[in-house]
Structure 1
Amino acid sequence: MTAGKRAVAVLISGRGSNLRALIAAAAADDYPARIALVLSNKPEAEGLEIARAAGIATLVIESRGKARAEFDTEMDAALKARGIELICLAGFMRLLTTEFVQAWYGRMINIHPSLLPAFKGTDVHARVVASGVRFTGCSVHFVSPEMDEGPIIAQAVVPVPPDATADNVAEAVLEQEHTLYPQALRLLAEGRLVIEGQRVRIRP
C-alpha cells in the first residue's frame, strides 16, 4: 500500500527510540504513512543506523556553526526536494525558526515527555519527581513557534509512585511514547486532525 501512504521525515539528534517505534508501525500494510527520510543535525546520532538498517534514506545537515535561519533554510529545501509531506520530531534537539514552523504548521508534530502544558522544556522527569505530582505522561502536539506550546493531539498518563526516581519514570513514560506517537501520526496521515485555535478535533 506504499503508493497511498504519506511521505514522512523523522528529525532526530540522538538514539532514535521513538524513530524505531514509528518505523515498526509504518511497516504495516494498512498504516497510512511511510518513513521516507530520517534527517539528523548530528552525524553521530545513533538513530541514523536504525534508519539505515531498515532501508530508509538518511540525511545529515550539520547544525554546528550555522545560524538557525541558515540551517532551517537548508533543511526546508532538502525536505521539499524529497517530496516530504509530514514531519515528526523525535528527540530533535534544535530550536526551529518561526519561519520554518509556520511553513510546516499543521504538518509537523512533536512528542514531549510530560502532560503538557505542565513541565515544558528539559530535565522533565527529575522535575516531575521533585514536584511530588502523582501523575505524569507524554503528549503529542503540533509544533508551533513557541516551544512545547502547540495544540495537543493526544496524551497518555503514567502514575508516579511515592518512591519514583527520574530513571524509572523516564522508562515508564518512554513505553507510552512508543505507542502514542504512531497512533498520533496515523491520525495526521489519515487527515483526521482539525486544528481549531489551540484545540485539536479528531474527525471520525
Structure 2
Amino acid sequence: MNQIGSFVPCASAKLPIFKHVLCRIGASDIQARGVSTFLAEMVESAAILRIANEHSLVIIDELGRGTSTHDGFGLAWAIVVDLIQRAKCFCLCATHFHEMGHLADEYKGVVNKHLTSQFFEDQNEMTFLYKISDGVSKKSFGINVAMIANFPKDVVENARIKLEKLEGCSRSGISPELQELFKSQTFEEFTSKIPILLGS
C-alpha cells in the first residue's frame, strides 16, 4: 500500500520506495509444456535471484514445498542466504520449515515472527488471532486442521503418534555435520557439503 502511495493501516510507518517488488507465491504445473509445480517454483525463484538487489522487496511463501523435505529445505535455505548476503534486499519469507529459524542466529538483520492461533480441542475449533508475535512458532496445527476437516479418528491418531516420534528425534539434537551444513554461506558451499553429510 505504501508502495503505491496509499494509506497504511497503522499509526505511523517509515518505509522506503522499492524499485522491484518480487513475489514467489503459489505455483501450479503447466502440463501442456511439461512444467511441474516444482519446476515452475524454481524458475520463478531463479528470476528473483537474478533481479533482487538492495532496492528490492522480495516476498516468498512456502518455498521448497514442491519437492522432498530435504531438497526443499536445502534450496529454501540457500536461496534466502543468497538474498541476505548478496542481494541485501528486504525479504518477507513465510515457511513451514521450522529449521529456517536458525537463520536469525547466523545472520544479522534476520528476525523471526509468527502468527498466533488457538486450538480448542474439546470444541474441535481453531481461532486465528491475526497477531504477529516474536520468534518461531512453537507448535504446528496440521493435525488439528485435519480434525476440523473430519478426518477419521484412527488416521488422526496414527498421525499424532508419528508426529511424537519425529518431535522426539528433533529434540535429541542436530548432528555436528548438519550444523555445519546450516552454516553454508553460498549455494555452492551448501551442495559441496551434502556428500560429506551422506558419507559418500
Q: Which has the higher contact order (CA 8 A, sep 6+)?
A: 1
Q: In terms of Rg, which structure is larger?
A: 2
Give the structure with the larger helix fraction.
Answer: 2
Shorter-chain TM-score: what band? 0.3 to 0.5
TM-score (norm. length: structure 2): 0.33
TM-score (norm. length: structure 1): 0.33
